[in-house]
C-alpha cells in the first residue's frame, strides 16, 4: 500500500471483525488475548448498532454514508488533523498539492460544528473578499453547516468556475453575522513570490506544494541576477500565515540554506519508526544573512523550516510565536474507497525540540498593531483547537497574532527585517553573516 506524508473497512460478519482485530477462533478467552477479546466485543457492538439503525430508523438509510460517518467520528475523535477522505476529497487533495485546483482559495478546519477559516490564500476569491483567519462560516448559500462533515462543507463551497457562492460569516468584533458573496475560480497556487527591496531579496512562501523548492531556487537565482551577488545584503523569507503542506518540500527548502546536519526528525509510536532527514550540503545563498518572518498563522511545514534554520543558527527568526502544529499526517490510500489522513508521528527540530501545542519562539519578537476591530480575531494556535495532540512536556502556549497589514509601510515586522539587513537597526539576536551551521550548533 502506497503512503505519502502530507506532513478497507468491512461490516456485516463476525469473520470481518476477526480479520480486523487479528482474533482467531478458540483464543478469545486466553489472557494473552484479553485485549483482543474486548476489541472484538466492541466491534460486535458497532455491528449491532449498525444493523439496528438500518432496520429501524424512521427513514431508509444509506449504508455507505453510515459507515463513512462512523469512520469520520472515530478519526476526528483522535485529533483535529486526522480524517477520512472520500474518493473525491482524496482526488481534490492530490490536485491541490500539485499547486492548481478549483474553488475559493481558503484553508479551513471544523470547530464546534462550523467551518473555521485558518487562512485565505493570497490572490484568491477568499482573500479578495476579505475573509480573515478565525472567521466562522455558518451557512453556505443559506444552508446551515451545523451537522455537516468538513468534507461535505468543502464540497459545497467548491463548484464550477465563474459560479457564485454566498458564505454567512461570524466574526469576533461584529455583532451580527454577515454574508460574503464570492465567485469561484481556478486557484493556481504559485507558492513562492519574490521582489527586490533595494539590495535585499524578499521571498514569500505561501504554502508547501510540489513546486515550492524549485520555485524558491528560481527566485533566489533571479534576485541574484537583479541585485548582483556582491551587492545583495541578504534575504527575507516570509512564512507568515503559511499553513504548511508537504514534508518533503519543507525538507528541500531547509536543505537549500543548510550546509549539512539534521533538518528534522519524526518519531512515531514505535522506536523503529523514527526517521531523520539530513541536509545534503550546499547553500544556494552562499551564506548570505537570512531573516525568517513568522507569526501565529505559520504552521507545520513552515515551523519545520523555521526550526531547522533557527537550531542551525542559519537564520534569525523575527515576528511572533508560530502556530504550534508539530505533528505529521500520513495519507494512506484505501484503493477505490478514498484515503485515510492519519496523524502518525511528531516532528522534532535538530536540537530535539517538539513544538506541538507550543510553537517556535522568534529570536526577535516584533508584534503588529492590528486595527481595533481585528484585535480579538487574529490570535491563532494549535493549543486552542479542541482535541489537539497534547504537548509532550512543559506548558502549552496560547496562540499568537496572525495579522499582516496589506500596506507595506505599516508592516512593522517586514520593516524591522529590512532595517536589520541594511544596518539601520542593531539587535544582538541578529546573526549577521549567518554562517554558523550544524557543526557549531553541536558544540
Active site residues: 300, 311, 325
Q: Which three cell numbers stand for residue 82?
A: 486526522
**CA 136 – CA 132 distance, rounded (Å):** 9
Distance of CA 16 to the CA centre of its chain: 35
* Sheet-wide strand order for 290-294: 192-197, 200-205, 234-238, 290-294, 316-319, 364-365
What is the rounded distance in angstroms from the CA atom of residue 297 to the CA atom of residue 308?
18
Q: Which residues pair with 329 in a beta bridge?
A: 343
d(CA 126, CA 103): 9
All three cell numbers of 383: 493549543
* C-alpha to C-alpha distance for 310 and 81, rounded to whole angstroms: 26
Dihedral, CA of residue 204, residue 205, residue 207 and residue 211, to nearest 10? 130
Name the CA radius of gyration of the chain, rounded.
Answer: 24
238 class by beta-carbon count within 10 Å (0-12 exposed, 13-18 middle, 19+ buried): buried
Which of 253, 272, 321 has the alpha carbon at shortest distance from 264? 253
d(CA 97, CA 95): 6
DSSP lists the bridge partners of residue 23 as: none
Distance CA 310, CA 317 (A): 7
Longest dimension (CA), the chain: 78
For 182, phi and psi rounded to 5 degrees? Answer: -125, 150
Q: Could you give the CA distance from residue 174 to residue 152 in angstroms, rounded to a whole number?
A: 27
Of 271, 353, 342, which is closest to residue 312 (Cα–Cα)? Answer: 353
Identify how many contiguous H helices and E strands the chain contains and give both numbers: 11, 22
Cα(87)–Cα(112) distance, rounded to whole angstroms? 25
Q: Which residues on adjacent β-strands are paired with residue 292?
A: 237, 317
Environment class of 290 (CB within 10 Å of its CB; exposed 0-12, middle 13-18, buried 19+)? buried
**Three-class SS state of 124:** coil
Amino acid at each position: 500500500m502506497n503512503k505519502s506524508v502530507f506532513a478497507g473497512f468491512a461490516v456485516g460478519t463476525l469473520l470481518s471483525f476477526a480479520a480486523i482485530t487479528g482474533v482467531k477462533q478458540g483464543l478469545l478467552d486466553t489472557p494473552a488475548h484479553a485485549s483482543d477479546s474486548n476489541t472484538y466485543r466492541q466491534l460486535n457492538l458497532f455491528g449491532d448498532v449498525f444493523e439496528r439503525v438500518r432496520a429501524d430508523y424512521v427513514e431508509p438509510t444509506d449504508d455507505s454514508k453510515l459507515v463513512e460517518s462512523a469512520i469520520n467520528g472515530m478519526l476526528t475523535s483522535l485529533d483535529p488533523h486526522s480524517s477520512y477522505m472520500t474518493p473525491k476529497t482524496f482526488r481534490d487533495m492530490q490536485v491541490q498539492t500539485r499547486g492548481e485546483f478549483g474553488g475559493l482559495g481558503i484553508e479551513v478546519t471544523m470547530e464546534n460544528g462550523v467551518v473555521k477559516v485558518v487562512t485565505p490564500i493570497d490572490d484568491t476569491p477568499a482573500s479578495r473578499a476579505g475573509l480573515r483567519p478565525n472567521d466562522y462560516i455558518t451557512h453556505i448559500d443559506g444552508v446551515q453547516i451545523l451537522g455537516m462533515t468538513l468534507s461535505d462543507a468543502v464540497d459545497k463551497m467548491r463548484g464550477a468556475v465563474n459560479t457564485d457562492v454566498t458564505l454567512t460569516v461570524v466574526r469576533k468584533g461584529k455583532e451580527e453575522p454577515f454574508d460574503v458573496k464570492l465567485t469561484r475560480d481556478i486557484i493556481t497556487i504559485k507558492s513562492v513570490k519574490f521582489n527586490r527591496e533595494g539590495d535585499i531579496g524578499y521571498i514569500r512562501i505561501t504554502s508547501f506544494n510540489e513546486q515550492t523548492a524549485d520555485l524558491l531556487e528560481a527566485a533566489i537565482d533571479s534576485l541574484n541576477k537583479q541585485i548582483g551577488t556582491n551587492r545583495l545584503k541578504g534575504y527575507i523569507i516570509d512564512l507568515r500565515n503559511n499553513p504548511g503542506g508537504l514534508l518533503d518540500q519543507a525538507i528541500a527548502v531547509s536543505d537549500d540554506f543548510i550546509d549539512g546536519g539534521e533538518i528534522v526528525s519524526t518519531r512515531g509510536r514505535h522506536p523503529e519508526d523514527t526517521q531523520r532527514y539530513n541536509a545534503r550540503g550546499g547553500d544556494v545563498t552562499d551564506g548570505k544573512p537570512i531573516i525568517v518572518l513568522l507569526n501565529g498563522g505559520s504552521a507545520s511545514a513552515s515551523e519545520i523550516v523555521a526550526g531547522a534554520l533557527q537550531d542551525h543558527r542559519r537564520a534569525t527568526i523575527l515576528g511572533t510565536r508560530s502556530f504550534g502544529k508539530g505533528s505529521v499526517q500520513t495519507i494512506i490510500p484505501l484503493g477505490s474507497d478514498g484515503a485515510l489522513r492519519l496523524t502518525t508521528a511528531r516532528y522534532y527540530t535538530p536540537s530535539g525540540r517538539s513544538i506541538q501545542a507550543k510553537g517556535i519562539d522568534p529570536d526577535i519578537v516584533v508584534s503588529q498593531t492590528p486595527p481595533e476591530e481585528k484585535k480579538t480575531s487574529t490570535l491563532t494556535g494549535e493549543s486552542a483547537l479542541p482535541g489537539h495532540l497534547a504537548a509532550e512536556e512543559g506548558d502549552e502556549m496560547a496562540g499568537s497574532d496572525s495579522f499582516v497589514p496589506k500596506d507595506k509601510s505599516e508592516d512593522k515586522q517586514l520593516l524591522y527585517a529590512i532595517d536589520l539587513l541594511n544596518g539601520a537597526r542593531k539587535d544582538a539576536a541578529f546573526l549577521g553573516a549567518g554562517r554558523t551551521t550544524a557543526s557549531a550548533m553541536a558544540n
